[in-house]
């Protein structure tokens, strides 16, 4: 993958205290437990009752989960938290997006598990972020862009593009994505082929 010119970002500190005064370790356990047990209702309650910046790091960590269903739940929660953070301070939301982008950069020293899907979910929930960052997500599937060499990450980017095309198709259309998606219609991974086809269908229907 080509190196990004974006500077690594430090995560936002969640200095706010919860209503119940619950300790951070206990709150982290609750977040991870909800995701492990697929308890959507309890997870939504946590999101509703606690400051989003207090939860965001726990949820980002949960997007690394290797179990697809659990990772998907964490990604959805991330999008909801990002909507709340953006409503309070858009620059805080941008800092978190840059943190995810950095995790996919070769210089980060990490792998960036779940980052493409999380970026997409944030954009699906916050249209302003889509306007600002969709070109970066798309570049991850462009061989002349920041192409993700590692197939699982590239798969996440394809899924992320499908997610955005399903809710904000016009944000995807203007980036001439069709020629890049066509190459994924013959991918060896069934899910990648499905996401590519679904994205094309969303764009045709828009």
Look at residue 111 in the predicted model and tell me its pLDDT.
82
Look at residue 20 in the predicted model and tell me its pLDDT.
47
Query: Per-residue pLDDT tens for 122-139?
Result: 999 999 999 999 999 999
User: What are the C-alpha distances in Å from 76 to residues 143, 179, 187, 198?
Assistant: 28, 29, 26, 19
Task: Say whether pLDDT at 10 is over 70.
Answer: no
Percent of the chain predicted with pLDDT > 70: 89
What is the third-level CATH fold of 24-205? 1.25.10
Task: Say whether pLDDT at 168 is over 50.
Answer: yes
* pLDDT band with cut points at 50, 70 and 90 for residue 25: confident
Query: Per-residue pLDDT tens for 61-120?
Result: 999 998 999 999 999 999 999 999 999 999 999 999 999 999 998 777 778 889 999 999
Query: Per-residue pLDDT tens for 41-58?
Result: 999 999 999 999 999 999
Over residues 150-179, the mean pLDDT reads: 94
Look at residue 54 in the predicted model and tell me its pLDDT.
95
Three-class SS of the chain:
CCCCCCCCCCCCCCCCCCCCCCCHHHHHHHHHHHHHCCCHHHHHHHHHHCCHHHHHHHHHHHCCCCCHHHHHHHHHHHHHHHHHHHHHCHHHHHHHHHHHHHHCCHHHCCCCCCHHHHHHHHHHHCHHHHHHHHHHHHHCCCCCCCCCCCHHHHHHHHHHHHHHHHHCHHHHHCCCCHHHHHHHHHCCCHHHHHHHHHHHHHHHHC
Quote the mean pLDDT of the chain.
Answer: 89
Over residues 20-33, the mean pLDDT reads: 79
């Amino acid at each position: 993958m080509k190196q990004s010119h974006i500077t690594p970002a430090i995560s936002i500190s969640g200095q706010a205290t919860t209503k119940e005064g619950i300790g951070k370790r206990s709150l982290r356990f609750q977040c991870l437990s909800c995701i492990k047990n697929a308890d959507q209702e309890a997870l939504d309650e946590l999101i509703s009752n606690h400051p989003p910046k207090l939860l965001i790091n726990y949820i980002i960590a949960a997007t690394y989960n290797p179990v697809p269903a659990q990772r998907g739940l964490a990604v959805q929660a991330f999008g909801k938290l990002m909507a709340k953070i953006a409503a309070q301070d858009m620059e805080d939301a941008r800092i978190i997006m840059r943190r995810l982008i950095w995790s996919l950069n070769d210089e980060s020293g990490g792998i960036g598990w779940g980052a493409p899907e999380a970026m997409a979910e944030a954009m699906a929930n916050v249209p302003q972020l889509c306007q600002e960052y969709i070109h970066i997500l798309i570049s991850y599937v462009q061989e002349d862009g920041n192409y993700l060499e590692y197939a699982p990450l590239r798969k996440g980017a394809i899924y992320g593009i499908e997610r955005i095309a399903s809710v904000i198709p016009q944000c995807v259309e203007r980036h001439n994505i069709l020629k890049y998606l066509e190459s994924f219609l013959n991918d060896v991974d069934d899910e990648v082929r499905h996401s590519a086809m679904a994205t094309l269908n969303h764009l045709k229907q828009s």
